[in-house]
Amino acid sequence: MLHVQNISFSYKKETVLSKVSFSVQRGKHLSIMGESGSGKSTLLKAIFGELHLNEGTITWRDQPMLGPNFNLIPGAPFLKYVSQDFNLMPFTSVSENIAEHLSVFEQESHEKRINELLKLIGLEAFASEKVKNLSGGQKQRVALARAIAQEPELLLLDEPFSNIDQFKKNELRYRLFPYLREKGIAVVTATHDSNDVLSFADDILVLKDGQIVDYRPIQPLFKSPKNKYVASLFGVVNEVPLKALKEYAESDTSILVYPHEFEVSYESGLEVFVAKCYFKGEYHRIESVSMSGQTLFFDSPLPLEANTKVFLKVSPQLVDARLWRS
């Protein structure tokens, strides 16, 4: 449905996007990830039609989606965009903000639809509250409800949960994304938070300096990251020289290992000493130092005392998978 082909964009002489290509099918969810300044928000603006491309094309159902040089007002009837600015009406109520985005030809169903959306975003108690009195997170939820009021075919989300409290954020993710999938709404989410997408996205496109670093289905990308930059988007990652593992003593290669992928032993493996122990709820994140002075993080079900000596192992299957990908 959405086809982005070889697009580039520059602000004056600064290239922000360079030869970016991807596609999104009906009802699928693509996540765009990358560090701040990688081009995520710019890419969403380009799709929405706020920017005029230097080169390349964007099409929807084989119809071109053009920028401000061709359209006075960006956007299209089938497309909604939730930016980080929200663009709400501050002096009207939450219900009125949502109603403004419903069809004027379906007035009799407005109340039912508004109540459905208020329940989805968890703001039933704030239906009559003026938007100007809401917190930043509540305003963000209203912006989400407005965007999906008429069930667009394509939804663009720019850091959609960035202002929402953690306990509300988790609840909303598990409500919103299954709802969008059920309705067959294609989603493109720009985020730096892997929790926004790990359980919900179909594919991930990783940007760095405006260029695609990796673009694959989410599980293969997470399990076999292309490089440390990609892996680090999901949290802490270790770069382990294989020669530190006795089985690969002759190798000059390093592999990427997430903390949970280490096997902890008290008998053999990569020798490390515990430096710090961080409680993470269901497990403990251990910061350790190897004999060569390298800092390595691993997970343990039990807390470990400082200066405790343990050994870390990596499964042969994991080594083979990472070496193959590299």
pLDDT in tens, 127-183: 999 999 999 999 999 999 999 999 999 999 999 999 999 889 999 999 999 999 999
Residue 244: pLDDT band (50, 70, 90) is confident
Fold classification of 238-325 is OB fold (Dihydrolipoamide Acetyltransferase, E2P) (2.40.50)
| β-sheet with 14-24: strand ranges across | 14-24, 2-11, 55-60, 63-64
* CB-facing half-sphere around the CA of 7: CA atoms within 13 A: 28
User: To 10 degrees, the CA torsion angle through 218, 313, 249, 310?
Assistant: 140
- Please give the residue that has the higher pLDDT: either 211 or 77: 211
Indicate the pLDDT class of residue 249, thresholds 50, 70 and 90. Answer: low
* Residue 227 confidence (pLDDT): 93
Mean pLDDT, the chain, rounded, equals 93
Domain(s) labelled CATH 2.40.50.140 in the chain stretch across 238-325
Look at residue 325 and tell me whether its pLDDT is greater than 70: no
Cβ distance 161 to 140 under 8 Å? Answer: yes
Query: Does residue 49 contact residue 67 with C-beta atoms inside 8 Å?
Result: yes
Going by C-alpha positions, the residue among 59, 17, 86, 52 that lies closest to residue 154 is 59
How much is the pLDDT for 129? 97
> How confident is the model over 211-231, as pLDDT tens digits?
999 999 999 999 999 999 999
Spatial separation of the C-alpha atoms in residues 79 and 84, rounded to whole Å = 17
Mean pLDDT, range 83-110, rounded to an integer: 87
- The boundaries of every CATH 3.40.50.300 domain in the chain are 2-226
Nearest to 6 by CA among 63, 55, 52: 55
In degrees, rounded to 5, the angle at the alpha carbon of residue 46 between the alpha carbons of residues 45 and 50 is: 65
Residue 105: predicted pLDDT: 61
**CA 227, 228, 232: angle at the middle one, nearest 5?**
130
Contact 31, 155 (CB under 8 A): no
What's domain 2-226's superfamily in CATH? P-loop containing nucleotide triphosphate hydrolases (3.40.50.300)
* CA neighbor of 322 nearest in space, from 233, 212, 248: 248
Confidence of residue 322 (pLDDT cuts 50, 70, 90): confident
The Cα–Cα gap between 8 and 208 comes to: 14
Unique residue bearing structure tokens 């003593």: 249
pTM score: 0.92
Q: How confident is the model at residue 48 (pLDDT cuts 50, 70, 90)?
A: very high
Angle at 97 between CA 95 and CA 99, to 5 degrees: 65
pLDDT (0 to 100) of residue 324: 64
Among 194-208, 233-247, 312-326, the range scoring the smallest mean pLDDT is 312-326
Mean pLDDT, to the nearest integer, of 65-83? 89
